[in-house]
Amino acid sequence: MSNIKKEDNVVISTAKINGRLISSFIRTTLPLLVAALLLLLCSNPLAAQNAPDTVTIKLPYDGPEMRFKAVHLGISEKNFFASKKITLGSREGSQSYKERLVDTMLSGSFIGKRKNGKSDWLYYLGETEVSRGQWNSIMRWMNRQKGKSLSAQGSDNPLLPQTGATVAEIYRFIEGLNTWMLQEQSSRLPKLYNAKAFCRLPTEAEWAFAARGGIEVNKNVFDRPHPYSEDLGKHEWHKGNSSGTMRKCGSIELANPVGLKDMLGNVEELTVSLFSPEYQQGRFGQFVIRGNNYSDFSGDFNVAHRTEFASHDQQGKLRHPSKVGFRLALSTSIASTGKLGRELDKEFDNYVSSLALPKPGLTGHSSPAQQAEDNCREYSKREADRFKTDIEDKKSEISRLLRLRNKDQVALSEKEQNNLELQNRKKELEAQIHDLQKQLKARPTPDVAKALQQKLRQAEVEKQGLREDLVRLKKIAIDSGPLPFFENESEVSKQRQQIKDLKQQIAVLPSLKEWEKLQQDFDKLQKENQASELNLSKKQVKERFFIDEGNRKQQKIAELEQNLKQKQQTVEDLERRLSDSEKKIAENANFAKIAEKRYLEALMRQAYTNAYNAYEELVKRQVIYLPEKDSASQIQAEKAYSQACQYIHDYWQLVVKMAQTQPALFPEVKQDVSEWLRKGEKENLFSGECKTQDGQQFLSPIQRKSLGLIERHVRQVRNGRSRLPDDLIDSFIDQPEFQ
């Protein structure tokens, strides 16, 4: 029993120790681990995000699925408001107010991984335009949710783009799609912290950045009218390849660099942005339409092309444009991410302090027109530098070709000299051969020599026989007297003549030694002749080779000259384009200057009017109303003071806007306005008060004097004082310019 109790005590003690250790771990170590984990997650918010490259949404009633492609921005900053500065508009020096160059900022709504593994801000755009089948599936689902019929807009081809919808109908479709996604496809939606994705129309900047190729192309390609190096017809539907008819969504052969199809062609696309000449200009119209359509020529396709949507015709009827469709973007709500308001305030302060804001900033220190002009100049300067670099490269290539040509010409001259020497040598050999041939012709051939040798042997035999006959005849004549068979002397003479002729023939024939020597000479000449013919054949082959080589060199020189001519033509084209670009820069600069001058003049006229009105109200308050002690006068005094405050606030806003314009324009505009006011004085149009008499407006010299006040305040704003001075209202009529 004692042993059992001891063991039980050990078990109980061990359990107590373990319980204390666990309790201590929960009180001390576990909170530290949780805090470390939270710190790790909060210290690197980007690491917790991983939005996919493609998001696929299934639609009700087995409708065509909707695919969204990630458009990366190349921003690795951890700041919640991190953004990318992009330049939009036409790089071709367009004079249209719709396509001027302008800078703007573009931010992402999600964080994902790029191909290099780095975290990056991104947003999503639909791979294609919204199709009729996708439209009908959502509309049928919405009708069913409301207890209506399942019918929807009919379609002869559900894969064609949905066109002809009004803005209200499009927003109703987007509302239904967001409801469907959040209720039925929530697990497929990417998130940013606590904020889930939702659909909307893309902004103009989002559309244009993706249409230009985003960060998937270099800057030169990004600035082109379109980002395609090969045939446009492989990427976009236009009049040349569509036969002037609308095509199915995504049926084009190739996507653009970020994986989107039909961005520039097939149908034009509605955006969520309001139409304005530039993003900071201030005057806005209806929605912006981007892109071209299937009935446009390929030469008219340009990423910068933009038009304004017209919702109604002149008779007030709703328009249903048959060539305008839309594609959707995925985004997230800023306020739904789970970040507190003070956290967002801090993030935005960090963003502002990082000087990430574009021109103009929060208060503005440069004009939109100046910004557009600077952008145009910067782009044109880059183009000019690129052209000059190309020209230098072409000139270097031409110099290399000229050196090669000169080298080939020297080699050709050497070959020609060698050919001349070979031709002279050939003539010498031909002369030697001719002499040999003459010698050979003067001498007998081997057959003739053999025949002559045979005849010589026969002649020797006959000669010996004749000699023997002659000796025999002489002996007979001596012994017997005249022979009876010789009838007369003439017969004897004839025989003698024959013998004499035979002796002459024998005498002219060479001896056997001479014939042998002649044969040796002939064999020698024949060998020399064969050697000469062989040497001549070799020389002729070599001469033919040099002639062919010379012809090849001459042909290469001709090709080099043609290439040189083409390079020179290219250089001339580049120089001409550079000249045209510089002319366009000058035209744009002059246009921007005139526009900004008019803008500044309008601001200045409005500013001196507000300054005068404020001055008048304050003078009335001080001189007329305050000396009177009755309540009505006091009310009038307060009213005059309130109006003066409003005038001065409006005046200061105009001063801030004038400070955003080019400083060099201010003196010129001020001089023009001052001369106009001074001319009015000379024409006796001024009086001491601003009043209406007989329908004519009378002005005060205070307005002309206020120009100096405006100039001083503009200078202060440019030096950093953007807020309205606290003492300006109370001291307004005492300003030195009014004295």
- What are 568-571's contacts with CB under 8 Å, separation 24+? 568/398, 570/390, 570/394, 571/391, 571/394, 571/395, 571/398
Q: What is the pLDDT of residue 125?
A: 98
Residues 654 and 725 in one domain: yes
Least confident segment among 14-23, 163-172, 296-305: 14-23
467 versus 609: the higher-pLDDT residue is 609
Residues of the chain above pLDDT 70, percent: 71
Residues 556 and 687 in one domain: no
Q: What is the pLDDT of residue 691?
A: 44
pLDDT tens, residue by residue, 394-408: 777 777 777 777 777
Q: What is the pLDDT of residue 634?
A: 81
Question: Above 50 in pLDDT, residue 297?
Answer: yes
pLDDT tens, residue by residue, 137-195: 999 999 988 876 545 555 578 999 999 999 999 999 999 999 999 999 999 999 988 88
Highest mean pLDDT among 331-345, 454-468, 510-524, 634-648: 634-648
Residues 147 and 256 in one domain: yes
pLDDT tens, residue by residue, 405-459: 777 777 767 767 776 776 776 677 677 677 766 666 665 566 666 676 677 677 6
Determine the structural domain holding residue 19 and report its residue range. Answer: 2-43
pLDDT tens, residue by residue, 628-655: 777 788 888 888 888 889 999 899 889 9
- The CATH number for 547's domain is 1.10.287
Q: Is residue 383 part of a domain?
A: no
Q: CB neighbours of 612 closer than 8 A, spacing ≥ 6? A: 690, 699, 700, 702, 703, 706
Average pLDDT over residues 83-110: 75
Residues 184 and 304 in one domain: yes
Q: What is the pLDDT of residue 159?
A: 93
CA atoms within 13 A on the CB side of 273: 23
Q: Decide the pairing of beta strands 66-72 and 119-126.
A: antiparallel
Neighbour tally for 176: CB within 10 Å: 21
Provide the Cα torsion 628, 632, 635, 640; round to 10°.
Answer: -70
Contact 402, 536 (CB under 8 A): no
Give dist(CA 70, CA 79) in Å, integer. 20
Q: What is the pLDDT of residue 261?
A: 95
Residues 139 and 225 in one domain: yes
Q: What is the pLDDT of residue 486?
A: 44
Residues of the chain above pLDDT 90, percent: 24
The residue among 266, 371, 269, 278 whose CA lies nearest residue 329 is 269
Residues 303 and 434 in one domain: no
Q: Is residue 509 part of a domain?
A: yes
Q: What is the pLDDT of residue 503?
A: 62
Question: Which of the four pLDDT bands, split at 50, 70 and 90, describes residue 699?
Answer: low
Residues 609 and 678 in one domain: yes
Q: Is residue 89 part of a domain?
A: yes
Residues 321 and 411 in one domain: no
Least confident segment among 39-43, 90-94, 700-704, 719-723: 39-43
Question: Above 80 in pLDDT, residue 10?
Answer: no
Q: What is the pLDDT of residue 690?
A: 43
Residues 91 and 32 in one domain: no
Residues 312 and 448 in one domain: no
Q: Tell me the torsion sign for CA atoms 499, 503, 509, 510.
A: positive
Q: What is the pLDDT of residue 57?
A: 96
Least confident segment among 380-394, 631-645, 677-691, 720-734: 677-691
Distances in Å between the Cα of 709 and the Cα atoms of 598, 719, 721, 728 are 20, 15, 15, 11
Highest mean pLDDT among 62-66, 356-360, 390-394: 62-66
Average pLDDT over residues 342-369: 54
Q: CB neighbours of 685 closer than 8 A, spacing ≥ 6? A: 696, 698, 699
pLDDT tens, residue by residue, 311-322: 999 999 999 999
Q: Which residues on neighbouring strands pair with residue 329, listed in sequence order?
A: 125, 200
Q: What is the pLDDT of residue 449?
A: 64
Q: Is residue 561 part of a domain?
A: yes
Q: What is the pLDDT of residue 43?
A: 45
Q: Which residues on neighbouring strands pair with residue 111, listed in sequence order?
A: 121
Q: What is the pLDDT of residue 370?
A: 56
Q: Is residue 385 part of a domain?
A: no
Question: Which of the four pLDDT bands, split at 50, 70 and 90, describes residue 6?
Answer: very low
Q: What is the pLDDT of residue 439?
A: 64
Q: What is the pLDDT of residue 320?
A: 94
Q: What is the pLDDT of residue 245?
A: 93
Question: Above 70 in pLDDT, residue 509?
Answer: no
Give dist(CA 200, CA 172) in Å, integer. 11
Question: Which of the four pLDDT bands, split at 50, 70 and 90, describes residue 341?
Answer: low
Q: What is the pLDDT of residue 18?
A: 54
Q: Is residue 379 part of a domain?
A: no
Average pLDDT over residues 88-105: 69
What 8-state DSSP symbol labels residue 725?
P
Q: Is residue 451 part of a domain?
A: yes
Question: Above 60 in pLDDT, residue 89?
Answer: yes
739 versus 363: the higher-pLDDT residue is 739
Question: Above 60 in pLDDT, residue 276?
Answer: yes
Question: Above 50 in pLDDT, residue 337?
Answer: yes
Question: Above 90 in pLDDT, residue 23?
Answer: no
pLDDT tens, residue by residue, 251-260: 998 999 999 9
Domain boundary among 562, 583, 604: 583
Question: Above 60 in pLDDT, residue 226?
Answer: yes
Residues 641 and 674 in one domain: yes
Q: What is the pLDDT of residue 569?
A: 77
400 versus 242: the higher-pLDDT residue is 242
pLDDT tens, residue by residue, 598-615: 889 999 999 989 988 988
Contact 332, 189 (CB under 8 A): no
Contact 518, 509 (CB under 8 A): no
Question: Above 60 in pLDDT, residue 473?
Answer: yes
pTM: 0.48
Least confident segment among 128-137, 422-431, 550-559: 422-431
Q: Is residue 172 part of a domain?
A: yes
Domain boundary among 558, 583, 608: 583
- The CATH number for 255's domain is 3.90.1580.10
Least confident segment among 356-370, 453-467, 520-534, 647-661: 356-370
Mean residue pLDDT of the chain comes to 77
Q: What is the pLDDT of residue 365?
A: 40
Domain boundary among 549, 583, 617: 583
Domain count, the chain: 4
Provide the Cα torsion 178, 184, 187, 193; round to 10°.
Answer: 40
Q: CB neighbours of 81 closer than 8 A, spacing ≥ 6? A: 107, 347, 348, 351, 356
Q: What is the pLDDT of residue 696?
A: 41
Give dist(CA 677, CA 685) in Å, integer. 9
Question: Above 70 in pLDDT, residue 350?
Answer: no
Tokens of 112: 């994902």
Least confident segment among 93-102, 124-133, 617-626: 93-102
Residues 421 and 508 in one domain: yes
Q: Which residues on neighbouring strands pair with residue 270, listed in sequence order?
A: 289
202 versus 39: the higher-pLDDT residue is 202
Tokens of 489: 């002397």
196 versus 282: the higher-pLDDT residue is 196
